Amino acid sequence: MAIFVTGTTGYLGSYLAAGLFAEHRDALNLLVRAKSEEEARERLWTSLQLHFGFREFCEYLGSRVRIFLGDLTSERFGLSDDEYHALVDTTDSVIHCAASLNRKSERQCLNVNLRGGLEVIQLARRAQNRNGLRRYSHVSTVAVAGKRRNEVVMEDAAIDWGRSDYDPYARTKKFGEHMIHQLLADVPHTIFRPAIVLGDSRRPETSQFDMVQAFDALVRLPVLPLRPRDKIDIVPANYVSKAIVAIHQKAEPGHGIYHLSSGTGSETYEELTDALAEAGGWRRPAYWPWMGGTFSGTVNWLSNRKGSVAHGASLLKVFWPYLDWNTVFDNSRVVAEVGEAPAKFSTYAFPLLKFSRENRFRYPAKPWPKMEMDAPGKSAAAGGARA
């Protein structure tokens, strides 16, 4: 039997797969959007090389992975009857991480987050009816809390159907949670809501840059249109993945919903910019919060232009509501469950920015090796992807 994991070719999904490989022995059923097994293996290598060397990657792929070539938004993932039945029959738990984070496209969010989410729920329902499902874990977001201001939000009070949502991403993720509660009521299920996931507290390398670019654009400004003592809830990817993997594998987690966040320990903008200025040797910015409206209008205008400035402005436009809300999400549940709090962003922010700038906000991914491997490696790579 295996854990069915979606989204492993994405940033956070790669962390989940890496954590399951390194810390547990379960086999994994992976849904990969690709036209061939070779393309699927290459996509997984591009994603997982952040965590493993090629030989170790091939060993995991050959011994513990079954790849299903499918699309989240297609009926039964576009699998043949035999493949789909094999997926149902061999799945004993689910971690659904795949999602569209396109905060500007309602169509894409509806297709991936709702239609795709429903397909995963239906798979879980069939697995439950067939052999019983140990757990269904769903990666959501703190953004389901909707428009907030100057709050500390608790897990059970986050969903308020009378409150407006910031964007299609938040709206569809909120409905995704609702579908799980309604359609998998008899299945043990856990909702994980990460805050702003940014970087890895153990190393500077990252392969996800949108939020890093938005943050980089802000720290380059001599004047920030923010309140210096507002808090921003940032959590490293390695903490988020560690919590999801650990809680998913528990027989009886303490709660059904967890905020994966920095909580009331979140740092203020002033604390972050002071730490970055000291590490980088540059001047601390001034704070003019009364410029917020003018800044937002300027960002909107620049985002419609062309070039690198326009790209930075478009990122700020998307993330601005989450930067300006001074809202954090209580994390006492997850801290108690895993026995530790997340690292503070200021402790690894400068190396993350340095790596991102030096690589022009692109991960220097290695291609699939062209040279022939020795016999064990060739065997692992050839036997790893089967559908």
Cα 256 to Cα 115, 138, 191, 236, 242: the distances in Å are 23, 10, 6, 22, 17
Contact 145, 158 (CB under 8 A): yes
Tell me the C-alpha distance between 8 and 11, whole Å: 8
In a domain, residue 221? The reply is no
Q: HSE (CB half, 13 Å, CA atoms) of 165?
A: 18
The Cα 348–Cα 72 span in angstroms is 34
Strand partners, 190: 137
**Cα–Cα distance measured from residue 197 to residue 211, given in angstroms and rounded to the nearest whole number:** 8
CB neighbour list of residue 305: distance below 8 Å, 6 or more residues apart: 313
Nearest to 178 by CA among 153, 144, 135: 144
Q: How many CB atoms lie within 10 A of CB 326?
A: 19
Tell me whether residue 43 is in a domain: yes
Greatest alpha-carbon span in the chain:
66
Which regions of the chain are under pLDDT 50?
372-387
Which amino acid is it at 244?
Answer: I
Using DSSP's 3-state secondary structure scheme, residue 136 falls into strand
Q: Domain for residue 191, yes or no?
A: yes
By residue range, what is the domain housing residue 336?
2-201+232-266+327-344+364-384
First to last CA, the chain: 15
Give the number of other Cβ atoms within 10 Å of residue 82's Cβ: 9
Query: Is-contact 194 260, C-beta < 8 A?
Result: yes
The number of domains in the chain is 1
pLDDT in tens, 359-386: 999 999 999 998 644 433 443 333 333 2
CATH number at residue 254: 3.40.50.720
In a domain, 225, yes or no: no
The verdict on residue 119 lying in a domain is yes
Q: Is residue 126 one of the residues assigned to a domain?
A: yes
153: which strand partners? Answer: 329
Task: Map tokens 């690589």 to a residue.
Answer: 359
d(CA 235, CA 201): 9
Residue 296 pLDDT: 81
Answer yes or no: are the C-beta atoms of 131 and 92 closer than 8 Å.
yes
For residue 91, being part of any structural domain is answered with yes
What is the model's pLDDT at position 371? 60
Predicted pLDDT of residue 250:
97
Q: Could you tell me which of 226, 220, 377 has the C-alpha nearest to residue 294? A: 226
- Of the candidates 235, 214, 266, 231, the one whose C-alpha atom is nearest the C-alpha of residue 149 is 231
Among candidates 13, 171, 159, which has minimal Cα distance to 96? 13
pLDDT of residue 378: 42
β-strand 196-197 against 234-235: which pairing, if any?
Answer: parallel
Token pair of 181, please?
Answer: 């509660």
Which two structure tokens, joined as six digits, stand for 91? Answer: 């799945």
